[in-house]
Every structure is written in C-alpha cells, then in structure tokens.
C-alpha cells in the first residue's frame, strides 16, 4: 500500500502526519512502527492522523500513535503541527479549530507570527485518573501539594510531582538538565509499577520564576527534543510547588515553548510554540 505523508516538527519533536479525512488507512501497530522507524521508514517520534469531525461543534478528530505503534492520549507539539497541517493542506481556512482527542477536546489557534497556541485543557490531579497508584510510596507535601518518592533500584529515588495533561507525567526537579540521569532513570520511571499505563518522565531545571529548562523521556518514544504536554506538566508542577509564576518560557533541546496557567485546578493550560513543515512524500507500507 502506497500512502502520502507530510513530515513536520515542533521544537524538534518530529511527526509523520497522515490525512485520513477521505477514508481510514487502517494501519496496524506494526505499520505505525514502520513509519516511525528512522532506518526503514520515514522516521518520527509520533504518527498523527487527521480524521473528519466526529460530532457537531468539532472541526476534526486528532489521533496519535507513538513510535512503538501504541495509540496515546495527547501530544502538545503534535497539536500545533496538526493545525498548521490542516490549514496548509486547505482542509480549513479557520485560524482557530476544535478537535477531538482520545480523552476530550482541545482548541488550537494559528497566531499572526506563525506560532500556534493550544488550549490544552485543565490539568488532572486526581491520582486514579492520571492513572497513578501511590500505595507503598513515601509522600511529602510541598506548598500543600503531595509529591512522591519513586524507588528506582540502583538508580536511587526520584521525587516526582504527578499530573495528567491528557496523558500521564511524573516531573522531578534537577539542578542541571545537562547532567540529569534522563537515559538511566527515564526508562525506570516510565515503566514504574505505580503507573499502570506507563508515564512520561520529566526532568526540570528552574532558571528563574519565569524560565525553566526541560528534558523529557517520553513513554513509547524515549527522549525527544521537545514534549509539549511534558512542558505543560512541568510548569504546572512548578507552579503547584510555589517555584514558578503563571507564564513560563520552557527551553528544550529543540526550541522554546511558552506555557501559561492561572494556577486554579479548573483553569486551562495554554501552550504557544512553533510548527514547521519539513517535507512531503509517498511511501510503500509493507504488509507486516
């Protein structure tokens, strides 16, 4: 089967985008893995599928598969690329669109400067909904918010704030992200038994109350150059612990993201950042 695709990136987080507005491709888990493979396929952190509106009041449906072929709930950098794609491809002329994701709806706006602002919705703190099971873990309160110590065997212990931005995140503060044990602790946190659906592991260095540096070991993808939901989760965790102001620039290896959150549990997180097309092409998908 030959399919058309667009390669895009947002702050270095790269994607293969598929237009399924005229019909489903019905790709298998193995075929998503093939597309994401950097040696045999196109290469991407995630595969984004654009599908028709599933309900009144929505413009599109947005479906995400990780590099390991598994479907996931949300991707902030991908959401920015999504709205750039549907405008560039003439699928809409709206500057603001509402789309369905696995666990709800989000609103995306193309700004005049070419950057995209995504209304990521309110963070989720209820532990069963993350999902997260704290049984047996040491818990302390920082600024009235519970954080948890995750035992990681020979890699010590990680003290994390736990939050969902439509997908689960465990954020720890580090002195220097360049020296942080992302590649050793990251997989252990991702697969820690306290997270029944695995988790994205964030490593946050606070530069000032309005600026952080961030690395994220993403569930199903490994470390990426940027993670939009990870940036939102890190800022939310920093605000909850009293370390950050309501608007924060997040420096990732791939570029800068700006995150805003008013600090109220029901207030939405806004993320602004770049979305860039890289190239278009066609590829033969084997019957794996």
Report in angstroms the alpha-carbon separations of 254 from 13, 251, 267. 7, 8, 27
Cβ-in-10-Å burial (0-12, 13-18, 19+) of 182 comes to: buried
Instruction: Report yes or no: 261 and 227 within 8 Å, Cβ to Cβ.
Output: no
Nearest to 56 by CA among 105, 116, 109, 120: 105
Instruction: Report yes or no: 288 and 34 within 8 Å, Cβ to Cβ.
Output: yes
Cβ-in-10-Å burial (0-12, 13-18, 19+) of 3 comes to: middle
Would strands 60-66 and 96-101 be described as parallel, antiparallel, or unpaired? parallel
Check 75, 81, 139, 232 and give the catalytic one. 75
Q: Is 227 a catalytic residue?
A: yes
Nearest to 160 by CA among 134, 178, 128, 183: 134
Q: Is 232 a catalytic residue?
A: no
Instruction: Report yes or no: 121 and 103 within 8 Å, Cβ to Cβ.
Output: no
> Which H or E run contains 82?
helix 76-88
- Give the residue numbers marked as catalytic: 75, 227
């Amino acid at each position: 089967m030959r399919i058309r695709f667009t390669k895009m990136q947002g702050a270095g987080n790269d994607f293969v985008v598929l237009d399924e507005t005229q019909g489903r491709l019905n790709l298998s888990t193995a075929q998503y893995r093939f597309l994401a493979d950097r040696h045999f396929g196109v290469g991407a952190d995630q595969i984004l599928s654009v599908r028709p509106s599933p309900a009144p009041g929505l413009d599109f449906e947005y479906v995400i598969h990780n590099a390991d072929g598994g479907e996931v709930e949300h991707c902030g950098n991908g959401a920015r690329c999504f709205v750039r794609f549907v405008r560039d491809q003439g699928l809409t002329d709206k500057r603001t669109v509402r789309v369905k994701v696995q666990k709800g709806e989000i609103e995306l706006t193309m700004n005049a400067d070419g950057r995209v602002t995504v209304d990521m919705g309110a963070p989720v703190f209820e532990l069963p909904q993350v999902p997260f099971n704290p049984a047996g873990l040491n818990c302390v309160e920082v600024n009235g918010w519970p954080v948890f110590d995750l035992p990681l065997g020979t890699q010590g212990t990680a003290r994390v704030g736990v939050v969902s931005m439509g997908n689960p995140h465990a954020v720890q503060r580090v002195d220097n992200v360049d020296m942080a044990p992302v590649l050793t602790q990251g997989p252990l946190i991702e697969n820690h038994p306290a997270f029944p659906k695995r988790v994205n592991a964030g490593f946050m260095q606070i530069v000032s109350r309005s600026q952080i540096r961030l690395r994220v070991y993403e569930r199903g993808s490994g470390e990426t150059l940027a993670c939009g939901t990870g940036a939102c989760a890190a800022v939310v965790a920093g605000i909850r612990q009293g370390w950050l102001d309501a608007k924060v620039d997040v420096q990732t290896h791939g570029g800068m993201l700006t995150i805003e959150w008013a600090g109220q549990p029901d207030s939405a997180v806004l993320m602004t950042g770049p979305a860039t097309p890289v190239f278009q092409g066609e590829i033969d998908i084997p019957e794996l």
